[in-house]
Amino acid sequence: MAGMYQKNTLWYVPQESAATVDQVAPSAGVQLSGRPLVEIVDRYGRLAAALGADLKAAPVVEAKRRFDAAVAGLKALAAAKPDLKIMIVTATPDSLYVAYLPDHPDIKYWGELGLNIVSPPRPTESEGGFWEVLSWENTDKYQADVILVDARSQSMKIDEMAGKPTWARLPAVRAGQLYPWRAAERYSYLGYAKVMEELKANLDKARDDLVR
């Protein structure tokens, strides 16, 4: 079972291995791109129920309560800090990638909750979607009070990015307002409750007057 950002293509399953995987065990995919976060979580829940999970079990009910509380917390923070500007990125030694909201269900959802997130234009076909690709010389195209950095292993780490002069001059970097983006979190109420609780805790302590 895996998510699908492209139709009929399981995420994290190499295309050359897909046939072999299907021979070992049946696979199921949940379409991610273009779908609201809460709908994706619900679809995973229904799939789990079809496989025998009890969605009325106490831990599941508690996870949903915790998710709803985390949503309310982010909404309240967004209302209290409307000027807090947030940018979400991943990076390679050659480029900085700024997240395009509609292609990322979690980021899009947080924007709908009211967070002020930098939103680049729709990526070109050559960029492949999901990101606006910037050279390191142009990393100051967008200014933000907070930068969420991709926590996955394929992204450059914050200490590695510190060696890029243009990155080091960004207001959020100078202020130390760099926090993780949990891009690989599982789509469940508990998974995203934890993500949003961490996000709110980080944003609560962030200054919102670095850029205007």
pLDDT, position 58: 97
**Phi-psi region at 20: left, alpha or beta (left = phi > 0; alpha = psi -120 to 50):** alpha
Taking the model in full, what pTM does it have? 0.87
- In the chain, where are the structural domains located? 2-50, 62-204
CATH architecture of 62-204: 3-Layer(aba) Sandwich (3.40)
Classify each residue of 159-185 as buried b or exposed e, where b means 16 or more C-beta atoms within 10 Å of its C-beta: eebeebebbeebbbbeeebbbebbbee
pLDDT, position 36: 86
| Statement: residue 31 has pLDDT above 80 | no
| Statement: residue 29 has pLDDT above 70 | no
pLDDT, position 122: 85
Pair 140, 172: CB distance under 8 Å: no
| Statement: residue 18 has pLDDT above 80 | no
pLDDT, position 1: 52
Dist. CA 15–CA 144, nearest whole Å: 37
pLDDT band at 17 (very low <50, low <70, confident <90, very high): low
| Statement: residue 9 has pLDDT above 70 | no
Per-chain mean pLDDT for the chain: 89
* Residues 4, 6, 8, 9, Cα dihedral to 10°: -70
Dist. CA 170–CA 140, nearest whole Å: 7
Q: Are strands 95-99 and 131-135 parallel, antiparallel or unpaired?
A: antiparallel
